[in-house]
Amino acid sequence: MRHLNAEECSELVRRPEGSGALTQPQTLRCQQGKHDPNRGLYPRTPTKRRKHGKHSVHSKGAQKGITSFFSVTGVVSSSPLLATPLKQDPEEEEEEEEEVDYLEGITAEMFGDDEEFDRCDGVSSSREHTRPEEEEEEEVEALPDAHFGLLGSSSRLQEPQGCMDDLPEEVLRQLLSLLPAQDLYRNAARVCHRWRDVVTDPKFLPLKKQYFRYVMAEENTVREINSLLTNSSVLDSTNVMAQHKLGERVRPEDVLRCVKKHRLFPQAESCLRLRIPDGPNPYAAMAVILILSEGVGDVQALVSLLSGCLSHTAVTEYLSHMATMLLAMMRNGVRISNRVHYNIFYVLHLMENVPPSVGCDHNGRPQVHVTHEQQQILSHDIEPDQVVKIMAFAGTGKTTTLVKYAEQRPHLRFLYVAFNKSVAVQAQRCFPSNVACKTVHSLAFNDEGRRYHIRRKLASGLRPFSISWVLPKGRGGFIHAKVITTTLNAFMASADRSISEHHVPYNRKNNKGKMEPISGEYATEAWRIWSKMKDPNETREQAYHMTHDGYLKLWQLRTPRPCLSDQYDVIFIDEAQDCTPAIMDVLLSQHCGKILVGDPHQQIYTFRGAVNALRIVQHTHLYYLTQSFRFGPEIAYVGATLLAVCKNVQKILVGGNQAGKTAILSRCNATVFSEAVRLTDANPNCRIHFVGGLANAGLDKIMDIWLLRSGGRPGKSIRDAFIRRFLKSSLDGYLGLKRYAEQTEDRELETKLAVVEKYNGRIPELVARLQSCYEGNYHDADFILGTVHKAKGLEFHTVMITDDFVKIPCARHDLHRVSGFRWDEVPEDEWNLLYVAVTRAKTSLAMTRNISYFLTLAGEYFLTSATTGSLLKEGLPPRCSTAGCPNSISADSAFTMCKRPMRYTDGVRSAGPLCERCVWKRVGPTAFLMTDHLQRRSEPPEPLGLPVHHDLLMLLF
């Protein structure tokens, strides 16, 4: 190798050999074999090159190698620098000679003195001697393609080269900015030092990271944000947003030009004209638009408009800034609708998390791409003795996640534990072959329950009626039997090994219906009956029969303990929030990995002794699933608001992109019957489906109770053995059955008694009609009816909720005028039941007035904004639509808030404008965006309008 002078370089550039390395490297690749076609294009430091031997063509005067003068006699073997050169094939040496890159290492300093190169012949003459055949063949130049230019053109694909470390800093920042803030802190910052430096850089996504820290209540961030809201008002947040600084060069007038296209800009412009005489600030206008947004669609429309002038990062930063201000106002007690913050949170979630798409694999089967929350779970390789909790909100794909988890680990053996046989059967169809799906009772039955089944000593459950016949004299009766039954059920659900006083309830109802304390003496009697239940030979009395929960308890008490770890590597525990301590004691004692899945807000079986294992059990890893595939943003908002208002839950449920059948869900069975009667009265030919089937609808028992009440009918007999026993004169017939239900607090029986008394003589005709209108296949039914307990785990296109759930008497702004209502006196199960009912809907949720009252507690009154000029009639402002309000709408207000028309299942709400004072009562400081003269308005004396049954509600709760 030698250096070229300037003249030779110029000549080389004009020849194909010189320019081909840059314009057609793929062509050179064909000539060079397996060598890198881009060789010489990479930056590198010039180094010495090995001289070629006898095949090198030397001109006169060229320097020869030292071995041409001195022969090599030997090599010191211990020297690492000297080794016997390998004998190369002549063809390989020629090929290596052809690899010489003439431009490699050339710098300007190398051309200082051209005279010393005059002795050298041109390099072109030497190349003509080595490759004459290539000069003769003229190559056809390929047409330009995607790689034309630096990479040239080639029909062959190159292998990908480079890695993430080669990305420029600017590109890496753009990629990382697309991740959610939680992933930046939890995952990206732990990849390498370079990524950590980017994530922790104060100039990198400062507002997005600040929003996440404020959501997590980081102390310094909370103090910093609260100091900005000096007066904790909406105007403060608007002023703060007006000073928003973008991290990129954008002209404010360009941003304003895009914002002007939004449908809410006229209201924002009128509002800001009162405070910014020089013209609207685009960032303040955007803040007002977000505050007035009625749904996620308004925020998405703003994002779409801003994409024409701002980058994705800039839009995310602004929305994060605004979301922080709104969340700070909510946490500081400012009366503003949580809907405003929810809309922004939802859009940010969609921007950071691409909705899962459905494709097909190579076999044509549907293939769903998982969310980042699901991917975190799928990436976790569970180890023995680990306890993983998955907090899955309604409809967030927990079953799909478990199925994919098992599919990705075919070498492991899984056990899926369910508490309902139908759920286990359905799961077996979904899970791969390495998963066994069983109920926890089936596991216990094989070890303990079978021996009682063989002796016909199994009963569905304990009845106070049966227990009362085996109690000693002086301690009999239904009231005492109820205490014994409650004690036994509490023991069988617990993890305790023996019955003690703490299993006995604290109080009971006496014969006069008043509560009185209970002594611990009942524990001894309960232990005696339990001993009889365990004895397989004690089969005479119904009270001594073993129950399903009883042999499950025996399975838990076995010595040695049940060992599932020998058969399975991992246990899936579904609906963990409904586990009893006895079940958890067995499953958590296994040494294999355990994955607990459930929704703590769907715990509706505490009356059976269930405890929320998702809160009690210690875990090694915790994951959340919050993106629902069942419903869209509107239904998700209602569910999230119920959790926030009633249970103070900070995690936010978000929906998917959903746009059938109508299900009517009730709190109790009596309402299910009443709804079925209402539907068939309106249309005797309609087809109805009862969730759980006709046998579980209780129509036969209702008919039996009616027969007992009416004294029987010729040709009609009471089929239920329990009800038939009350035909005895000693039990006093129907009145005795009613007294039994009251003394034992049998709610299910009480609802059926209420149905019989309500419809009385119509019962035979109604039962026959409902049986004839029943449709077994719910796909063919016009309406689906059922209780929330039976509908748990199901989903329906449209859901209507009946009016028998827990209630609040009025909207938030009137709640202070109502006495007797206390949140802490409502059982948590009641809130959970309402949440489960709401989240069964996929596309539509029929609102009740009660649900609308719940939403007002979060500041959501379903108001819309309109320009005041559009409401003026003949130049005169209209009156406020609130009943009894004497005020009129101010003609000089920036805009007017109006009630949106609402249709409830139990009535309608008419639309109409609201005066500033009525707006203030409902949504607080938002009224100051309308006018500065709020204090002049008079206080409207609104009628309260409590429900008729409010006093009864106060007694119940």
What domains are there in the chain, each with its CATH number?
Answer: 1-46+93-155 (no CATH), 205-352 (no CATH), 370-438+561-647 (3.40.50.300), 458-544 (no CATH), 662-854 (no CATH), 861-955 (no CATH)
| Residue-level pLDDT at 148 | 47
Predicted local distance difference test score (pLDDT) of residue 39: 57
Tens digits of residue pLDDT in 119-131: 444 444 444 444 4
Task: Count how many Cα atoms sit within 13 Å of the Cα of residue 433 in the half-sphere of its side chain.
Answer: 1
907-948 pLDDT, tens digit per residue, is: 788 889 998 889 988 888 888 888 876 654 455 555 555 554
Percentage of the chain beyond pLDDT 70 is: 74
DSSP H helices, 412-545, are: 421-430, 440-444, 450-454, 464-468, 478-493, 522-534
Q: Residue 647: what pLDDT?
A: 61
Of 921, 862, 924, 926, nearest to 893 (Cα)? 926
Bond prior to 560 in cis (omega within 30° of 0)? yes
The confidence score (pLDDT) of residue 898 equals 93
Question: What is the pLDDT, as a whole number, of residue 604?
Answer: 56
Q: Cα separation of 841 and 796, whole Å?
A: 5
* pLDDT tens-place string over residues 407-420: 999 999 999 998 87
Looking at residues 658-686, what average pLDDT do you find?
Answer: 86
Place of tokens 């087809």: 687
Q: What is d(CA 231, CA 738) in angstroms, rounded to the nearest whole number?
A: 61
Return the pLDDT at 199.
94
Please tell me the predicted confidence (pLDDT) of residue 85. 47
Alpha carbon distance 378, 394 (integer Å): 19
User: What is the spatial distance between Cα 547 and Cα 527, in angstroms, rounded to a whole number?
Assistant: 15
Which of the 8 DSSP states describes residue 144? P
Q: What pLDDT was estimated at residue 534?
A: 93
Q: Where is 789: in which H helix or E strand?
A: helix 788-791
pLDDT(248) > 90? no
Query: What is the DSSP track for 241-304?
Result: HHT---SS---HHHHHHHHTTSTTHHHHHHHHHTT-TT---HHHHHHHHHHH--SHHHHHHHHH
Average pLDDT in the 670-676 region? 92
- Per the prediction, the chain carries an average pLDDT of 79
Residue 130 CB contacts under 8 Å (≥ 6 apart), including other chains: 57, 94, 97, 98
Residues in the chain: 957
- The predicted structure's pLDDT at residue 19: 66
pLDDT for res 211: 94
Asked if residues 463 and 722 have their Cβ atoms less than 8 Å apart, the reply is yes
Question: Using 50, 70 and 90 to split pLDDT, how confident is the model at 135?
Answer: very low
Tell me whether strands 570-573 and 414-418 are parallel, antiparallel or unpaired: parallel
- Please tell me whether residue 695 adopts helix, strand or coil conformation: helix
Rounded to whole angstroms, how far apart are CA atoms 660 and 851? 23
Query: Which residues, 6 or more positions from 328, have their beta carbon under 8 angstroms from its beta carbon?
Result: 214, 225, 226, 228, 229
Backbone angles phi, psi at 229, to 5 degrees: -95, 75
Distance CA 887, CA 307 (A): 42
Residue 535 scores a pLDDT above 50: yes
The radius of gyration of the chain from alpha carbons, rounded to an integer in Å, stands at 40
Q: Is a pLDDT exceeding 70 seen at residue 100?
A: no
Give the burial class of 424: count Cβ atoms within 10 A of its Cβ; 0-12 exposed, 13-18 middle, 19 or more buried.
Answer: buried
Q: Which of these, 635, 638, 677, lies nearest to 655 by C-alpha position? A: 635
H-state helical runs in 137-244: 169-176, 181-186, 193-199, 206-215, 219-228, 234-242
Reported as a pLDDT band with limits 50, 70 and 90, residue 50 is very low
The rounded distance, in Å, linking the Cα atoms of 787 and 692 is 9
Whole-number Å distance between alpha carbons of 370 and 372: 7
Exposure of 324 by Cβ count < 10 A (0-12 exposed, 13-18 middle, 19+ buried)?
buried
Residue 277 has pLDDT above 80, yes or no: no
Inform me whether the pLDDT recorded for 611 exceeds 70. no
pLDDT attached to residue 130: 45
Q: Classify residue 456 by its DSSP letter.
A: T
pLDDT tens profile 815-871: 887 777 777 777 888 888 888 888 888 888 887 888 888 888 888 899 999 988 888
Of 56, 9, 55, 18, the residue nearest 40 (C-alpha): 18
* 334, amino acid identity: V
Q: In what order do the strands lie in the sheet with 593-598?
A: 435-439, 414-418, 570-573, 593-598, 387-392, 621-625
692 backbone φψ class: left, alpha, beta (φ>0; ψ -120 to 50)? left
Q: Kindly state the average pLDDT of the residues 8-30.
A: 64
Average pLDDT for 425-437? 91
Give Cα 419 to chain centroid, integer Å: 23
Is 577 in contact with 603 (CB distance < 8 Å)? yes
Joined tokens for residue 652: 């936010």
- What six digits make up the tokens of 638? 């209602």
Alpha-carbon span 285 to 242, nearest angstrom: 8
Cα dist from 320 to 180, 732, 934, whole Å: 11, 70, 31
Give the tokens for residue 680: 């068939």
Phi, psi torsion values for 546, nearest 5 degrees: -80, 140
278 vs 813, residue with greater confidence: 813
Asked if residues 417 and 586 have their Cβ atoms less than 8 Å apart, the reply is no
- The whole-number average pLDDT for the span 689-707 is 90
For residue 146, the SS3 value is coil
Which residues, 6 or more positions from 445, have their beta carbon under 8 angstroms from its beta carbon?
453, 551
Mean pLDDT check: name the lowest of 149-153, 685-689, 716-720: 149-153
Number of other CB atoms surrounding residue 47 within 10 Å = 7
Give how far Cα 795 sits from Cα of 101, 365, 399, 802, 839, Å.
69, 23, 14, 17, 8
Which residue bears the tokens 């990206």? 188
How much is the average pLDDT of 613-639?
78
Q: What is the pLDDT of residue 660?
A: 60
- Whether the CB-CB separation of 550 and 395 falls below 8 Å is answered with no
Cβ within 8 Å of residue 279, ≥6 positions away: none
Give the residue from 623, 199, 658, 598 showing the smallest Cα distance to 371: 623
Cis bond upstream, residue 877 (ω within 30): no
Going by pLDDT thresholds of 50, 70 and 90, the confidence category of residue 161 is low
Pair 391, 600: CB distance under 8 Å: yes
For residue 15, give the DSSP letter.
S
pLDDT 10s digits, 299-351: 999 999 999 899 999 999 999 999 999 999 888 888 888 899 999 998 998 88
pLDDT in tens, 588-601: 999 999 999 988 77
How many CA atoms does the CB half-sphere of 504 hold within 13 Å? 20
The one-letter amino acid code at 547 reads T
Q: What 3-state DSSP class applies to 872?
A: coil
Alpha-carbon gap, residue 817 to 802, rounded angstroms: 26
Which of 64-68, 187-191, 330-334 comes out lowest in average pLDDT? Answer: 64-68
Among 921, 919, 859, 855, which residue's Cα sits nearest to residue 893? 919
The arithmetic mean of pLDDT across residues 489-494, rounded, is 92
Q: Which of 798, 899, 905, 807 is nearest to 853 (CA)?
A: 807
Lookup: tokens for 307:
């994409």
Element (H, E) at 407: helix 398-407
pLDDT higher than threshold 60 for residue 674: yes
> pLDDT at residue 48 above 50?
no
Say which residues have a Cβ less than 8 Å from residue 314's Cβ, sequence separation at least 6. Answer: 246, 247, 248, 250, 306
Each residue's pLDDT tens digit, 749-783: 998 999 999 999 899 999 999 999 999 888 889 99
